[in-house]
Amino acid sequence: MGKISQGVLGGFSGKVGNIVGGTWKGIDYMRIKPANVSNPRTAGQVDQRSKFTITLRFLQTMTDFLRVGFKLYANKMTQFNAAMSYNLNNAITGTYPNFSVDYANALVSRGGLTEALNGAVSSSGGLVEFTWDDNSGSGSAQATDKALLVVYNATKDQAIYDTAGAARSATSQNLAMPNDFIGDDVEAFIGFISDDGKEVSDSIYIGSVTVA
C-alpha cells in the first residue's frame, strides 16, 4: 500500500499498482515499475550493457578515490555515479563486442582547478614515478595543491592511488606497487586538489608504463 505523507500533491512512498514512490537524499520521486523482461536482447540494450560493464570494471577499482575526485559533480547522485555517467558517455570506444576504455578521454577527477602541466610517468624498483612541472600561479594553481595520483592495472583489476599526494611545487612523487604488478602494463593519471579540499582539477592521462 502506498502512503501520501504531505497531502495529495506531497511525498509518496510505497507502491500503488505499477507506480513506486520513495525518497532519496531528501528528494521525493515516483517511477513506473518496469515490466519483467528477463533478458532484453535488442542491439541497443546489448551495447549499453557491455559499455556499462566495461566502465564499471574500470571505476570500481578506485571507488574511494572517486569520492574525492568527483565530489564537486555529485549533484543529486553519488560521486561514483557521477564518474560512471561521465566515463560511460565519453571514455568508451569500439564496437560490440570489442568495447574498451579510451584512457586519454577518461577522467578520474573532475573540476575547475588548473590541471597538471607536462605530466610524465616511468617505473623502476617496483615504483611508479610521476613527474610534472610546477605551474603554480598559472590560473588557479597553487604551490600547496596536492597531487591526485592513480595507477590502474587492467590485468589485475586493481588500482593504486593517493588522494593527498605531494605538493604541486614538489614536481614528483613515487607510488609503490604490489610485487605481483611487476611486468604488468599500468595506466597512470594525475590531477590536483587544493590544500583546503574545496577545488579539484580534471585529471590527465599521462600514459602507460610497464612496472619494473
Place of cell 555529485: 74
Cα separation, 21 vs 25, whole angstroms = 14
- DSSP-derived letter for residue 79 is H
Place of cell 578521454: 105
* Closest C-alpha to 201, from 76, 87, 113: 113
DSSP output for 40-57: ---HHHHHHHHHHHHHHH
- DSSP-derived letter for residue 83 is H
Q: Residue 46: what are its φ and ψ, rounded to 5°?
A: -65, -45
Cα separation, 53 vs 69, whole angstroms = 21
Query: How many CB atoms are located within 10 Å of the residue 100 CB?
Result: 12
* pLDDT exceeds cutoff 70 at 16: no
Residue 100, strand partner residues = 93
DSSP output for 100-140: EE-GGG--SS--BBPPPEEEEEEEETTEEEEEEE--TTSTT
Label residue 4 by pLDDT band (50, 70, 90). Answer: very low
* Closest C-alpha to 14, from 25, 22, 23, 26: 22
Model pLDDT, residue 71:
97
* pLDDT exceeds cutoff 90 at 118: yes
Domains by residue range for the chain, with CATH: 3-32 (no CATH), 43-210 (2.60.40.10)
Cα separation, 81 vs 59, whole angstroms = 10
Place of cell 616511468: 122
Model pLDDT, residue 2:
44
pLDDT tens sequence across 169-205 = 999 999 999 999 999 999 999 999 999 999 999 999 9
* pLDDT exceeds cutoff 60 at 12: no
**Which grid cell is 22?**
520513495
